[in-house]
């Protein structure tokens, strides 16, 4: 009797072991044509909690839309094999420590072949050395600080429209808005600090004068003391660098203190979201934007996105969607879903046309996306290139 029970236990354990062995990248399911379909896991680290959680959540929703689309269409081919996508995501919580722990886990435990890095530059900066040591491709479609590519990591690529690419568009927009004496207000994180370094010399070259510079913490919600200091300098324009979550309370309080001052935001905010929660405070606001005129491809994505989400797709969703499709394209061109060096080379060699633009990189992993701008006027958003005249 004991021998029978022992045999049964061994049989049950062997079944569980076999099932566990299929739970990772070797998982197989039945394809539309009846053949086997394996699953490739893509690592994702995003802040979906913490002070800038909304941006990370938008990006993740874009990732999930691409994952669902690819899998609903039967997966993608690499060689003679078909693969479905599985996102393995960890919440970085807005903390570099959590981002690095998630990176280690994705590389050493989940053994993913590639990682999509966070919407926060300081988190991504902390992840880069870990990915470089492990020779695991790391790419961000949102984090935009120049400190990222400055590390010189060969396994990191920056697919987000970078701050340094936005500065020329920003200074031209300030001139177009007829700003002369400008207050510069930015969030005190790696993204905002990057603008704090890049904008002043570019503005000086264009004859724009900075009369006040203020920075604020990502957790800050009260700005009246700071704004009254700025008001005392009599600016005729304000340049703001703030993510949507931070821009909302700041713009509301700006409207109270300086309702007639022109404001330009440097690309961290979604204008449609600002209109929803602060319509009076944002009328006339000009923002730099990764989004531009609506293309047939964007319309198609918006329709797809609406089927699974309760809000209209925005440009951070576009970036998330582009990210998954970009990685699939790189794997197809590399001819592998496991060889990290070949995948990394395919990433660097990319000329991939996504919703945001065409992604390509130089030897430093920098892209050439320059962005557009959006104008909020009478409750609507007008998208344009920076070469078009501002609407009257």
Q: Is residue 18 part of a domain?
A: no
| 52 and 96 Cβ atoms separated by less than 8 Å | no
Confidence at residue 283, expressed as pLDDT on a 0 to 100 scale: 95
Domain that holds residue 178: 164-289+372-384
219 and 242 both lie in a single domain: yes
Return the residue matching tokens 């005190």. Answer: 188
Distance in angstroms (rounded) separating the CA atoms of residues 250 and 196: 18
Confidence at residue 293, expressed as pLDDT on a 0 to 100 scale: 83
146 and 174 both lie in a single domain: no
* pLDDT bracket for residue 17 (50, 70, 90): very low
170 and 244 both lie in a single domain: yes
136 and 270 both lie in a single domain: no
Helix (H) or strand (E) run with residue 198 in it = helix 190-205
Residue 186 confidence (pLDDT) above 50: yes
Nearest of 151, 145, 133, 127 to residue 46 by alpha carbon? 127
64 and 199 both lie in a single domain: no
Summarize the confidence of residues 173-200 as an average pLDDT. Answer: 96
| 202 and 171 Cβ atoms separated by less than 8 Å | yes
**Which tens digit of pLDDT belongs to each residue from 115-163?**
999 999 999 999 999 999 999 999 999 999 999 999 999 999 999 989 9
Helix (H, G, I), strand (E, B) or coil at 29: strand
Give the CATH number for residue 87. Answer: 3.40.50.2300
230 and 376 both lie in a single domain: yes
54 and 92 both lie in a single domain: yes
197 and 305 both lie in a single domain: no
Q: Is residue 367 part of a domain?
A: no
Distance in angstroms (rounded) separating the CA atoms of residues 89 and 246: 24
Q: Is residue 113 part of a domain?
A: yes
pTM: 0.87
**Which tens digit of pLDDT belongs to each residue from 278-336?**
999 999 999 999 888 889 999 999 999 999 999 999 999 999 999 999 999 999 999 99
Q: Is residue 308 part of a domain?
A: yes
Summarize the confidence of residues 332-356 as an average pLDDT. Answer: 97
* pLDDT bracket for residue 192 (50, 70, 90): very high
54 and 149 both lie in a single domain: yes
Nearest of 21, 329, 321 to residue 141 by alpha carbon? 321
Q: Is residue 203 part of a domain?
A: yes
Helix (H, G, I), strand (E, B) or coil at 211: strand
Please count the structural domains in the chain. Answer: 2
238 and 377 both lie in a single domain: yes
Distance in angstroms (rounded) separating the CA atoms of residues 84 and 77: 9
Distance in angstroms (rounded) separating the CA atoms of residues 120 and 96: 9
169 and 282 both lie in a single domain: yes
- DSSP codes, 260-286: TSEEEE-S-S-HHHHHHH-HHHHTT-E
Q: Is residue 330 part of a domain?
A: yes
| pLDDT, averaged across the chain | 91
Summarize the confidence of residues 242-249 as an average pLDDT. Answer: 94
234 and 376 both lie in a single domain: yes
Summarize the confidence of residues 230-251 as an average pLDDT. Answer: 96
Confidence at residue 35, expressed as pLDDT on a 0 to 100 scale: 63
Phi, psi angle pair for 86, to nearest 5°:
-130, 120
């Amino acid at each position: 009797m004991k021998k029978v029970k022992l045999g049964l236990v061994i049989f049950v354990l062997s079944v569980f072991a076999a099932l566990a062995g299929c739970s990772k990248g070797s998982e197989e399911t039945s394809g539309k044509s009846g053949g086997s379909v394996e699953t490739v896991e893509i690592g994702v680290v995003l802040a979906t909690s913490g002070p800038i959680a909304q941006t990370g959540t938008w990006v993740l929703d874009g990732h999930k839309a691409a994952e669902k689309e690819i899998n609903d269409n039967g997966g993608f081919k690499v060689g003679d094999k078909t693969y479905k996508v599985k996102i393995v995501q960890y919440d970085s919580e807005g903390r570099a420590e959590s981002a690095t722990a998630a990176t280690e886990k994705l590389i050493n435990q989940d053994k993913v072949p590639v990682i999509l890095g966070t919407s926060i530059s300081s988190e991504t900066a902390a992840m880069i050395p870990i990915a470089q040591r492990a020779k695991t491709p790391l790419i961000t479609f949102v984090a935009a600080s120049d400190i990222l590519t400055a590390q010189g990591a060969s396994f990191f690529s920056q697919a987000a429209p970078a701050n340094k690419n936005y500065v020329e568009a920003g200074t031209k927009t300030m001139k177009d808005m007829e700003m002369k004496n400008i207050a510069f207000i930015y969030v005190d994180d790696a993204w905002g600090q990057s603008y704090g370094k890049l904008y002043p010399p570019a503005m000086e070259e264009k004859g724009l004068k900075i009369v006040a510079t203020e920075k604020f913490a990502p957790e800050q919600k009260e700005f009246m003391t700071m704004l009254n200091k700025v008001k005392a300098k009599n600016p005729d324009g304000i340049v703001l660098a703030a993510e949507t979550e931070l821009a909302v309370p700041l713009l509301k309080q700006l409207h109270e203190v300086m309702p007639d001052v022109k404001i330009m935001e440097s690309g961290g905010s979604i204008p449609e979201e600002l209109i929803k929660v602060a319509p009076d405070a944002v009328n006339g606001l000009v923002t730099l934007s990764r989004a531009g005129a609506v293309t047939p491809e964007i319309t198609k994505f918006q329709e797809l996105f609406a089927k699974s989400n309760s809000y209209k797709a925005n440009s951070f969703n576009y970036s998330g969607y582009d990210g998954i499709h970009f990685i699939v394209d790189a794997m197809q061109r590399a001819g592998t879903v496991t060889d990290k060096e070949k995948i990394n080379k395919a990433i660097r060699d990319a000329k991939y046309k996504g919703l945001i633009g065409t992604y390509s990189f130089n030897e430093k992993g920098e892209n050439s996306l320059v962005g557009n701008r959006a104008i909020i006027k009478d409750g609507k958003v007008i998208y344009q290139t920076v070469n078009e005249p501002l609407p009257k």
